[in-house]
Amino acid sequence: MVAAALAGFAGYGAATFATNNTPGKAFHFDDVAAQVGLQTPIVYGGEQKQKFILETTGTGVAIFDFDQDTHPDIFFVNGSRLGGFANRKPTNLLYRNLGDGTFRDVTQSAGLSRTGWGQAACVGDYDNDGKTDLLVTYYGENVLYRNLGDGKFSDVSEPAGIRNPGRWNSGCSFWDYDRDGDLDLFVANYLDFKDATHYEPGSGPNCRWKGMAVMCGPMGLKTSQNMLYRNNGDGTFSDVSAAAGVSKTTGCYGFMPVTIDFDQDGWPDLFVACDSTPNLLYRNNQNGSFAEIGMETGVAVNEDGKEQASMGVAVGDYDRDGFLDLFVTNFSEDTPALYRSSRDHTFTDATYRAKLGLNTQFLSWGTAFADLDQDGWKDLFIVSGHVYPEVDSHPSETSYRQRRSVYRNLANGSFQDISTQAGPAILAKKASRGLAFEDLDHDGSLEAVVVNLNEAPSLLKNQAKDKGNWVILQLEGSRSNRSAIGARVQLTTEGGIQTDEIRSASSFYSSNGLRLHFGLGGKPDIEKIEVFWPSGARQAFGNVRGNRVIKVHEAHGIQ
Amino acid sequence: MISKIRFTSVLCLAAGLLLCRLPPAICQSDRMTAAQSHLQAGRVEQARKILIEIVGQNPGQQSAQALLGQIAFSRQQFGEAADYFAKAPAILTGTPLLRVNYAEALLETRSAALAKGELSSLPANHGVAQFEAGLLLARYGDFAGAERHFLAAKPHYPKPDVAAYNLALAQYSAGKLQECSATLEEARKNGFGTADVLNLLGQSYAESEKNTLAVGVLKEALRRYPKDERNYISFARILIDEDSTTEALDLIDRGLAVLPSSPPLRLQRGYLLMTLGRHKEAESDYRRLLATSNESNSARIGLAFVLIQSQRQELAATLLEEAIKNSPPDYFCHYLLAEIYIRQGLDDQAQRHLIRAESLQPQFAAVHSNLGKIYLRQGKLSDAINELETAIQLDPADTTAYYQLSIGYRKMGQALKAQQALASVRRLNEMERELGTSRFLTRKLKTFQNALASSSPQ
């Protein structure tokens, strides 16, 4: 049985060089997590009942090659439970990709076996030593792990000055906002630390749901303040939240920050998904400060001007117009939000026109634009799960565990929900949170890694054969930060242009790693690859062949 | 009826009856006598011809002018009526009820100010005329004016309970909740604790956020009038307001035990089940209602809501298309169908139904804001702004309209106005956050109920 499963997963051969227009043929996901060795559950909050909002948010996952053996590894943030544990406490989990389609738990040897109410993970080489480092946020603190390069990490939070205890740190992103060549850090904060565990279920107007007494919040609880840390270049960071204008924006239950140079001025901007409050868009003023312009640019609320329960964020150019769009997941009985970017640097809520407003039954978290059929158009993947386990014993027709959603990009500005035709792993119901995509087995197609609360994670492998050509770009900065976070890549093929940026984190509390994956459709030829580095440098490469991983160095070009 | 405001009258204002009440002095000449005979025999046209001859020969014959005015009034020829009445000032002075008709004719054809001027000259102690004046102004939406006349009528009107109730209803409608509650409490103290009085008092207290008092009154109403469905509904609203949706459902179930075939209670139950996420049960209630009252658009609309909530938009659209085809024109069916098409990204179809809804009910703000939204997407900026500004005039809490207006103004280069519109969006969202989930639900419920109540009668 294991052998059969491995044969399915470890497909190192080239992808089938064909595309087709039959939905479902290029999408068939199986969950191979157990077979490849991802079996330890992610523990988070009560399984039947949750007393406080702290127990609901769950954790993220980061995929990155920590040991530089070219095989992307998987790091899961683990959580905790009120009342503690009789036996061993759950710890974060680092799984080393052995390159044969299986993973080994190396958490302990890597020095990452920390316990606590873990939240998000984001990655980036903050010290520019060529090894990708890791930040894990907690309810209570931040932990910065420096990658020592020998398979081990060292907790440098204290000397780095980013521990910041007594806060509910949520999503995080490394980015070089001042373009000085080293990575700075943004940490969103969800809500007030004390309020997170203060109010009893049913004790106030915001502690009931459909007649049921449930945990309180976020409405009615105090918000907190997002944090910006500037990298001093010597292994330490300074809190510049006030000076940069970040702390001016209160009134956001901050979940997920993602970087996006929405105005294409070369200076990275940042979007923060805020739960039940207006989302934020920090425009980089190019002088170390930011202007918050979410409302003015059209990403703070939906087309009816209503605040939504923004959880996770995907960034991608779904319509291939050269401008990056945003997709935000929301609460059930509401639609997600697709913000389509325009040339005038504003966004339009295109949810309904893209046919993404019809499924309102899901309470969704992790999400990604990913070209799953490799036809050159980014599809959408969403994972869901309710916040109240109590719904399962309630007469309402919703459920705590919910299935995944796959939307195929129809290349005309709209999507088609193909979830029911996309394989058994899509229909499996879980209480999911974090989600990250990477090509874990070097077959050119993307696998999805999903955090499921109080269950083992999922590793969803697209077993469909009818996928298009592909290319993966792995960038390394020299003048720019070494992780190349913030670098924008524009790919020109016969079918038009595709655009993406390298970012430290997205989805919900998660990191897709630092490589960019593009589908190429029926032909493996790329007319041009352009790279716009954070340093301002620009490179262009013509007539490049796809179906391979292409390494691009800022100083030396394609390697 | 779902707490639909209504005014009661004890007088029949039919033309014939009123004519018979004219003082004998009017009918002095033979020809006048002949005209009166024709009128009493129902031969109005013959009477009219004689009266026209009389005023043709003698325009100063006020009795004939007054009768002609009344005939025109009874035929709803208000302009003509006003002209005749204007030529009979002495008769109007002696017949205050005719002055009320004159005022109505003026309201229909000239100005409210002129009409109110006429009404202000009614004798203060003429209870019936003052009462009818109150009814007239209430019918035209001038509740503050109506209140003044009902107040004047109250000490003299033959049925004090009716006068008190109508006064209170005018006060409620004018937003004078404290005065409304006081009037009703007085009526209650005087032994007029009718079902109408108790229900309105409960609603008035609830609107004034005096929920404890409201609950007390409504409990009494339920005890004394267990078959009055309005009390269950008013009480349920309070329970929802207090985050007790399940208890509200229990109460409606109690009502249905007494009144199993009450459509309003069944509609209400469906809505509550829907808000509790119990879509299948809600669907079953609405289908049951449809089966018993097949022409009920309210049930169709409720069912369409459930189908939308449970991701069956296409079925909801079919249901509404059928309703539109088979029932009298109903703006809400068109509006809801347009909502579905918007969700499906089908703006053209949505636009068609919104335009129809707008023609049927131009006072419904959401139709204008959705049309504005679509026009904006089509790049028809001035059309969009017109619709959105109309929406805000109709509903100053229409967040959609403000938000879309901000986009429209921005596109037109009106940055300051765009900022002001966004400030309104922020303010409204903050208010909504303060209201909390239950208040928001209550508001949604009220919108839903008002929509159903104002939907085409079956």
pLDDT tens column, B105-120: 999 888 888 999 999 9
On average, the pLDDT of chain A sits at: 94
- Check pLDDT > 80 for residue B294: no
Residue B345 touches chain A, beta carbons under 8 Å: yes
Q: Hey, which residues 353-412 in chain A have their CB within 8 Å of chain B?
A: 353-355, 357-361, 394-398
Residue A496 touches chain B, beta carbons under 8 Å: no
Residue A88 touches chain B, beta carbons under 8 Å: no
Mean pLDDT of A380-402: 93
Residues 6+ apart with CB under 8 A from B117: none
At residue B201 the predicted structure's pLDDT band, cuts being 50, 70 and 90, is very high
Predicted confidence at residue B440, as pLDDT, reads 47
A347: which strand partners? A341
- CB pair distance less than 8 Å for B400 and A396: no
* A117 closest CA partner among A136, A98, A96, A144: A136
At residue B435 the predicted structure's pLDDT band, cuts being 50, 70 and 90, is low
Instruction: Chain B: give the shortest CA distance to residue A346, in Å.
Output: 10
Instruction: Chain A: give the shortest CA distance to residue B226, in Å.
Output: 25
pLDDT in tens, A233-287: 999 999 999 999 999 998 999 999 999 999 999 999 999 999 999 999 999 999 9
* B295 closest CA partner among B457, B145, B73: B457
Instruction: Chain A: give the shortest CA distance to residue B140, in Å.
Output: 33
pLDDT in tens, A140-156: 999 999 999 999 999 99
Residue of B nearest to A298 (CA): B407
Among B278, B309, B344, beta carbon nearest to A395: B278
Contacts of B429 in chain A (CB under 8 A): 278, 301, 305-307
- CB pair distance less than 8 Å for B400 and A397: no
Higher per-residue pLDDT: A391 or B18: A391
Residue A307 touches chain B, beta carbons under 8 Å: yes
- Check pLDDT > 70 for residue B20: no
With tokens 């080293």, the residue in question is: A182
pLDDT in tens, B297-322: 888 999 999 999 889 999 999 999 99
Q: Starting at the earlier edge strand, list the strands of the sheet with A415-417.
A: A364-370, A379-384, A405-409, A415-417
Higher per-residue pLDDT: B5 or A164: A164
Q: Which of A199, A208, A345 to probe the B interface (max B CBs under 10 A)?
A: A208
Instruction: Chain A: give the shortest CA distance to residue B208, in Å.
Output: 19
Higher per-residue pLDDT: B17 or A293: A293
Could you tell me how many residues make up chain B?
A: 458
Predicted confidence at residue B433, as pLDDT, reads 79
- CB pair distance less than 8 Å for A395 and B433: no
Among B278, B281, B400, beta carbon nearest to A304: B400
Predicted confidence at residue A197, as pLDDT, reads 95
- CB pair distance less than 8 Å for B343 and A301: no
Instruction: Chain A: give the shortest CA distance to residue B374, in Å.
Output: 11
| Range among A198-212, A385-399, B89-103, B384-398 rated most confident | B384-398
- Check pLDDT > 70 for residue A11: no
- Check pLDDT > 60 for residue B458: no
| CA pair distance B42, B15, nearest whole angstrom | 10
- CB pair distance less than 8 Å for B422 and A395: no
Higher per-residue pLDDT: B435 or A214: A214
Interhelix angle for B44-57 vs B62-74, to 10°? 140
Residues 6+ apart with CB under 8 A from B349: B338, B341
Residue A301 touches chain B, beta carbons under 8 Å: yes
pLDDT in tens, A56-106: 999 999 999 999 999 999 999 999 999 899 888 999 999 999 999 999 999
Contacts of B343 in chain A (CB under 8 A): 335, 352, 357-358
Which residues in B421-456 are b (16+ Cβ under 10 Å) and which e? bbebbbebbeebbeebbbbebbeebeebbebbeebb
Predicted confidence at residue B444, as pLDDT, reads 54
Predicted confidence at residue B241, as pLDDT, reads 79
Residue B404 touches chain A, beta carbons under 8 Å: yes
- CB pair distance less than 8 Å for B437 and A206: yes
Predicted confidence at residue B33, as pLDDT, reads 87
- Check pLDDT > 60 for residue A10: no
Task: State the Cα angle at A18 between A14 and A21, rounded to 5°.
Answer: 140
Instruction: Chain B: give the shortest CA distance to residue A382, in Å.
Output: 17
- The encoded tokens of residue A91 equal 């710890």
Task: Report how many Cβ contacts below 8 Å link chain A to chain B.
Answer: 94
Contacts of A414 in chain B (CB under 8 A): 345
Residue of B nearest to A301 (CA): B403
Predicted confidence at residue B382, as pLDDT, reads 97
- Check pLDDT > 70 for residue A184: yes
Mean pLDDT of B342-359: 96
At residue B441 the predicted structure's pLDDT band, cuts being 50, 70 and 90, is very low
- Check pLDDT > 70 for residue B16: no
pLDDT in tens, A465-502: 889 999 999 999 999 999 999 999 999 999 999 999 99
Residue A345 touches chain B, beta carbons under 8 Å: no
pTM attached to this predicted model: 0.84
Among B244, B347, B425, beta carbon nearest to A305: B425
At residue B436 the predicted structure's pLDDT band, cuts being 50, 70 and 90, is low
Among B342, B403, B422, beta carbon nearest to A352: B342
SS3 for A9-40, per residue? HCCCCCCCCCCCCCCCCCCCEEECHHHHCCCC
Instruction: Chain A: give the shortest CA distance to residue B5, in Å.
Output: 30
Question: What percentage of chain A carries pLDDT values higher than 90?
Answer: 89
Predicted confidence at residue B280, as pLDDT, reads 93
Predicted confidence at residue B11, as pLDDT, reads 28
B44: which strand partners? none
User: How many CB atoms are closer than 10 A to CB A555?
Assistant: 12
- CB pair distance less than 8 Å for B436 and A205: yes
- The encoded tokens of residue A358 equal 């019809």
Contacts of B281 in chain A (CB under 8 A): 395
With tokens 């919040």, the residue in question is: A217
pLDDT in tens, A492-522: 999 999 999 999 999 999 999 899 999 999 9
Residue A305 touches chain B, beta carbons under 8 Å: yes
Enter the DSSP assignment of A69: S
Contacts of A206 in chain B (CB under 8 A): 436-437
Mean pLDDT of B144-158: 92
Higher per-residue pLDDT: A515 or B154: A515
- CB pair distance less than 8 Å for B277 and A394: yes
- CB pair distance less than 8 Å for A205 and B437: yes
Predicted confidence at residue B449, as pLDDT, reads 57
Predicted confidence at residue A3, as pLDDT, reads 34
Residue B433 touches chain A, beta carbons under 8 Å: yes
Higher per-residue pLDDT: B28 or B11: B28
Mean pLDDT of B264-287: 92
Residue of A nearest to B435 (CA): A205
Strand intervals (E) in A403-522: 405-409, 415-417, 432-438, 447-452, 458-462, 469-476, 488-493, 496-501, 515-521
| CA pair distance A462, B424, nearest whole angstrom | 47
Among A304, A358, A414, beta carbon nearest to B311: A358
- Examine the predicted complex and report whether its ipTM is higher than 0.90: yes
Residue A298 touches chain B, beta carbons under 8 Å: yes
Instruction: Chain B: give the shortest CA distance to residue A405, in Å.
Output: 14
Higher per-residue pLDDT: B41 or B403: B403
